[in-house]
């Protein structure tokens, strides 16, 4: 039996996208994995650090682009490792604030410069126009 591809170009684009994502993930995750951090966990810590240490869980979920369950799992892992705390907001008991601990902030301060350099190296093959185009195309696919 021969499988018929309705849109061979779409399959080629998908293959390229998946290969690129895997290569980028490998390059960027090594330093995080040595610390026992996932990419989403590190992203949460960076977001918390940028906001002075605390953010609402629903805001983190939106920024991660994940489900409530996935964001909660990431935050639970950070809390279990002592990298973040979680508490209900006094102004809205339904809302949860996530706060980086001093250890979580220290990890971001230590890892972020090297990680940012690795991101720059990874995308150095693209000029600024290509980076903007890639970001726009990924945004279009994610919508």
User: What per-residue confidence (pLDDT) applies to 5?
Assistant: 66
Sign of CA dihedral 63, 65, 71, 77: negative
Mean pLDDT of 26-48: 90
Whole-model pTM: value is 0.81
User: What per-residue confidence (pLDDT) applies to 7?
Assistant: 82
Mean predicted lDDT score pLDDT of the chain: 90
Enumerate domains of the chain plus CATH numbers.
10-142 (1.10.10.10)
User: What per-residue confidence (pLDDT) applies to 95?
Assistant: 86
Query: Which residues, other chains included, contact 130 with Cβ-Cβ below 8 Å and sequence gap of 6+?
Result: none
Maximum C-alpha span of the chain = 62
Query: Which residues, other chains included, contact 108 with Cβ-Cβ below 8 Å and sequence gap of 6+?
Result: 42, 45, 46, 48, 49, 100
């Amino acid at each position: 039996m021969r499988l018929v591809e309705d849109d061979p170009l779409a399959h080629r684009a998908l293959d390229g996208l998946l290969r690129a994502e895997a290569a980028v993930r490998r390059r960027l995750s090594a330093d995080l994995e040595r610390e026992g951090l996932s990419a989403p966990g590190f992203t949460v810590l960076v977001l918390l650090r940028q906001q002075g240490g605390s953010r609402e869980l629903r805001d983190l979920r939106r920024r991660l682009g994940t489900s409530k369950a996935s964001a909660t799992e990431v935050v639970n892992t950070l809390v279990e490792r002592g990298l973040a705390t979680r508490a209900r907001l006094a102004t809205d008991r339904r809302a949860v604030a996530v706060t980086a601990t001093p250890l979580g902030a220290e990890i971001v301060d230590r890892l972020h410069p090297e990680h940012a350099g690795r991101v720059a190296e990874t995308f150095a093959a693209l000029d600024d126009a290509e980076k903007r185009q890639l970001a726009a195309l990924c945004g279009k696919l994610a919508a």
